[in-house]
Amino acid sequence: MLNQDQRTEHFRQSMRRLASTVCVISCKRDGERYGITVTSVTPLSFSPISILTCVNKSASISAPLKDEGRYCINVLRASQADVSNSFSGSLPPKERFGVGEWAEMDGVPYLPNAQASLFCEIDQAISYATHDIIIGGVTAAYFAADIAPLIYQNGSYAVAAPLALQKAG
């Protein structure tokens, strides 16, 4: 049987094999913008239209996000790795919005040139261990015509490409 450290490392290595789309969650509280890079975004339901994401409670966005309740999930393009890096800790929180072309809609910061932008209102925030599971009702969604999301897999950025499948003969 594996000890706790071994289970943790096996879990970490297993999750490196899970490819995830890279997103930046953004919000604004009291005139200050907050944002963080996440890969833990999952569609939840079409009725009501909802999505969930997980946010570490120690992240700078945690309290403002829950206090404000309105936010945007910016699904990044393959060409926006610099934005991802900025919001994943390479820059201090107050400097992150200097990377990318940000705008605001109804007081919520968003990337107009993202792969997609999902405007949400928090329906529920469920605390679990070190993270909050944020369930958001989607109030608006915008998307680019082309499909080229930024993917994170095995500790690196990647891109998605359709497989050319051959019919069995």
Least confident of 14-18, 20-24, 150-154: 14-18
Q: How far apart are CA 83 and CA 97, in angstroms?
A: 9
* Per-residue CA distances from 91 to 63, 83, 107 (Å): 19, 10, 23
pLDDT at 161: 82
pLDDT at 168: 62
Q: For residue range 59-102, what is the model confidence (pLDDT) as tens digits? A: 999 999 999 999 999 999 999 999 999 999 888 988 999 999 99
Helix (H, G, I), strand (E, B) or coil at 96: helix
Least confident of 7-11, 54-58, 117-121, 129-133: 7-11
- State the pLDDT confidence band at 163, using cuts at 50, 70 and 90: confident
Average pLDDT over residues 151-156: 94
pLDDT at 103: 98
pLDDT at 105: 97
Q: How far apart are CA 97 and CA 112, in angstroms?
A: 13
pLDDT at 134: 98
